[in-house]
Copies of this chain bind each other. A is one copy, B any other.
Amino acid sequence: MKLIDILDATPFPIGYRIAFLTNFWREPILRQMEKDFGIIRPELTVLICLSFRDNLNARDICEITEQPSNTVSRGVASLERKGLLTRTRDAVDTRKQILNITADGQKVHDEIMERFKSAEARMLSSLTPIETGRLHAILDKIARDVANWKD
């Protein structure tokens, strides 16, 4: 038996395929990233946020990513130890720490993003350009609807 047989039998064929592809597309890169860069998942999440926007604090990152605050806290602390981001006390609200990615952090971020990009290209290599365009449009429509899922 192969996984592909279960693919045919599932009562949620699209959800199953989406989760299935995440497993085989994203997870190997995350594991390799740990080995090669010593960066773990919550650290990458923080790097991505800070690469996109300056001067966030940990709470912002919690809200953006819907991750628990202790996970973000650890990610921020370890990234600082590695010199991949800086922490500065907010002068107005001294509880807050303003976070910024460093040049090293940006470099690591970019290299990891490059791996995801290559993996995506491989994942889509069996599709025609029209199929790729349609897939993008449909996934985008669903993703933008996620905010409405709140039960």
Q: Which residues of B contact A131 (CB under 8 A)?
A: 138, 141
Q: Judging by beta carbons under 8 Å apart, are A15 and B120 in contact? A: yes
Check B18–A139 contact: CB distance below 8 A. Answer: yes
**Taking the full assembly, how many copies of this chain does it contain?**
2
Closest chain B residue to A9 by CB distance? B52
B141 touches A127 (CB 8 A): yes
Chain B residue at minimum C-beta to C-beta distance from A146: B24
Contact: B143 with A126, CB < 8 Å? Answer: no
A interface size (C-beta, 8 A)? 62
* A interface SS class: helix
Q: Evaluate contact between A17 and B120: CB separation under 8 angstroms.
A: no
Instruction: Report A119 CB to chain B, min CB distance, Å.
Output: 7
Does A69 sit within 8 A of B, measured CB to CB? no
Contact of A147 among B4, B19, B123 (CB under 8 A): B4
Q: Which of A1-58 contact B (CB under 8 A)?
A: 1-7, 9-22, 24-26, 48-49, 52-53, 56
